[in-house]
Structure 1
Amino acid sequence: MNATLPNGKRVRQSSGTESREEAEALLAKLKLEAFREHHFGIKRPRTWQEAVVRYLEVKASLRSIRDVRQICRGLHPYLGDLTLDQINGDVIWSIVQGELKKGNLPATVNRYLATLRSLLRMARDEWQWIDSIPKVRMLGGEVERDRWLTREEADRLIRFCPDHLAAVVRFALATGCRAREILGLEWIRVDLPRKTAWINQTKNGTPRGVPLNRDAATVLREQIGKHSQFCFTYRGEPIKRNVSNHAWFTALSKAGLEDFRFHDLRHTWASWHRQSGTSCDELKDLGGWKTRSMVDRYAKFATEHLAAAASRIESAAKDGVIELSRFSHGAAK
């Protein structure tokens, strides 16, 4: 096909068929869509598959791109034959019901819905492929993970870790840094005299400074001389693979810890901070969270500000309690 469409765009491409009649029909369809879009503002219908291709290109630099691809594949049975303007509340309902019937938890279904919502918003706001999108509401009942270690459990875990892994665990508990942030930490980004490190490989892509307390500084000093570039190594080489490997699971088993992930060390760090009186605003800055809502989950660990209120009805304070009269509302005799 070689033609100029009514909207001024040039089409030079294969029709994908050897039939002249079919090629002419396809060209006529493209001209009609371009005419309606140019003169009446009617957008050409875009398919879900077109949107997924562009969405994955936009998100290609994400660390979690593999998970995004997997979710898009999971959505394909529901949306693969649809255009974006055909995705409505009924279609979203079918996705929810279909995934729940598979036995997936609300948290899993919500990841599907969040990806769908993100793609639709991008198609509307950035690509301008559609004018409106349906409301995508997340499911309730998602259980928030609340797994953290006591000091004794943490010490036991460290004791059963090999030296290179113990250093990473200790640093995580001292700073709250994520595994990828720790393994990518370079000496050029560490200033031990000022007790500061600068993390450039963060989850949200925003570099941040990390204050090094005494425990964190001690761990780093122990690593000096092991590698010229990276702080944490194994047998003289940077640790490139996932920390959650055989050594990690072996240490968990020997320490008697179940249902514990490496990322839960960050939850442990945050929980310890709140128990020690660190405010939510301070914790937000320490952990590099962008929003306060991500930190409020740890508010339950700090009750110092309620201690005075709780003590008002202690047994020793009963003299200060005002006894109220009890009135009977029965009929007068």
Structure 2
Amino acid sequence: MQEGSIRLDHTKNAIIRYVPMHPHVMEVLRPIWDKRGQPTKEPVFLNRFGKPYQDTRKAKLPGGNPIKNQYATACKRAGIEDFTVHDSRHHWASHCVMAGIDLITIMHMGGWKSLRMVQRYSSVSVDHMRAATYGPPRLQAGN
């Protein structure tokens, strides 16, 4: 919290990395961090039993992976169909590209080892391509 970044310990390629926190994320997480006594070494987020969350990617849990289940429930409540946790990585990378963030920065924040993977994960919308090609839409006289 003090550095405004999130430490990711359990990444796909097993490399610990830090990513910057958006100010809105800081605003939401600060009360949780404060309530926990502003820890600097132990986990901030605890499960309902007061224990740190565990890496469940390889665990054979009854009922399946709880993170995937909670994500699916949230999507269902929001009326979103056919959108997985993994799809969020594609969505995030695409929005970063369309926001003008350079590919090297996206590569580091997303934990990809090559620009080719960033290109594979990201895509741009037709509206973005149109604006990049022809500029922003112009109002017609009288409109």
The reply to whether TM is greater than 0.5 is yes
- Post-superposition Cα deviations, 1:204-227, rounded to whole Å, max 9, x if no partner, equal 122222112212322331322348
Of 47, 70, 74, 1:234 maps to 47
Unaligned runs of 5+ in 2: 57-64
Equivalent position amino acid for 2:3 in 1: R
Task: Trace 1:220-259 onto structure 2 (pairs within 5 A).
Answer: 220-224=29-33, 225-226=35-36, 229-235=42-48, 236-240=50-54, 241=56, 242=65, 243-245=67-69, 247-259=70-82
Counterparts in 2 of 1:291 and 1:265: CA distance versus 1, 3 Å: same
Which structure is higher in helix share? 1
Shift, 1:284, TM fit: 1.0
Q: State the number of aligned residues.
A: 119
Asked if the contact 1:197–1:212 (Cα under 8 Å) also holds between the matched residues in 2, the reply is yes
Task: Trace 1:1-333 onto structure 2 (pairs within 5 A).
Answer: 192-224=1-33, 225-226=35-36, 229-235=42-48, 236-240=50-54, 241=56, 242=65, 243-245=67-69, 247-297=70-120, 298-301=122-125, 303=129, 306-307=132-133, 310=134
Asked if the contact 1:252–1:258 (Cα under 8 Å) also holds between the matched residues in 2, the reply is yes
TM-score, normalised to structure 2, is 0.65
TM-score, normalised to structure 1, is 0.31
Counterparts in 2 of 1:263 and 1:197: CA distance versus 1, 3 Å: same
Unaligned runs of 5+ in 1: 1-191, 317-333
Asked if the contact 2:94–2:124 (Cα under 8 Å) also holds between the matched residues in 1, the reply is no
Structure possessing the higher relative contact order (Cα contacts under 8 Å, 6 or more residues apart): 2
Q: Distance in 2 between matches of 1:305 and 1:299?
A: 15
- Post-superposition Cα deviations, 1:170-197, rounded to whole Å, max 9, x if no partner, equal xxxxxxxxxxxxxxxxxxxxxx232123
Counterparts in 2 of 1:220 and 1:288: CA distance versus 1, 3 Å: same
Instruction: Mark the structure with the bigger radius of gyration.
Output: 1
Q: Distance in 1 between matches of 2:81 and 2:119?
A: 25
Equivalent position amino acid for 1:284 in 2: M
Q: Distance in 2 between matches of 1:305 and 1:250?
A: 36
Partner SS, residue 238 of structure 1: coil
Partner SS, residue 233 of structure 1: coil
Shift, 1:279, TM fit: 2.1
Partner SS, residue 6 of structure 2: strand
Question: RMSD across aligned C-alpha pairs, in angstroms?
Answer: 2.9
Partner SS, residue 198 of structure 1: strand
- Post-superposition Cα deviations, 1:125-152, rounded to whole Å, max 9, x if no partner, equal xxxxxxxxxxxxxxxxxxxxxxxxxxxx
